[in-house]
Amino acid sequence: MDEARAARLRRLRWHCRRALLELDLMFQRYWRRVDEGHDIDAESEAALTRLVAMEDHDLWELVSGREKTGDPRLNGMLDRLRQI
């Protein structure tokens, strides 16, 4: 992995820190899984970047399944987050 991508992933990981405890715990589990060798590809990185730009309560509505998104690129990441 090149240094620029590694820096982007470090920033993304930092932005995954949330005020809403449920989201914070979910993202901690996600990054532990990535650290265990489950790589994050460019598509997943882009989807995660879009998700963490959301407000906590809006993001929680998507992750918990109360709200739906019509974007199939986000649906894949949401499914992975729900499975963790």
Q: Using an 8 Å Cβ cutoff, are 75 and 69 in contact?
A: yes
**Portion of the chain with pLDDT greater than 90, in percent:** 76
Of 49, 51, 59, 48, give the one whose Cα is nearest residue 22. Answer: 59
Question: 61: which DSSP letter?
Answer: H
In which band, very low, low, confident or very high, does the pLDDT at 1 lie, cut at 50, 70 and 90? low
When divided into structural domains, the chain yields a total of 1
Range of the domain at 34: 3-83
pLDDT at 6: 87
pLDDT band at 39 (very low <50, low <70, confident <90, very high): confident
Predicted TM-score of the model (pTM) = 0.88
As a whole number, the mean pLDDT across the chain is 92
Domain of 25: which CATH number?
A: 1.10.150.250
What is the per-residue burial (b if ≥16 Cβ within 10 Å, else e) of 10-36? eebbeebebeeeebeebbeebeeeeee
- For residue 27, the Cα-to-chain-centroid distance in whole angstroms is 6
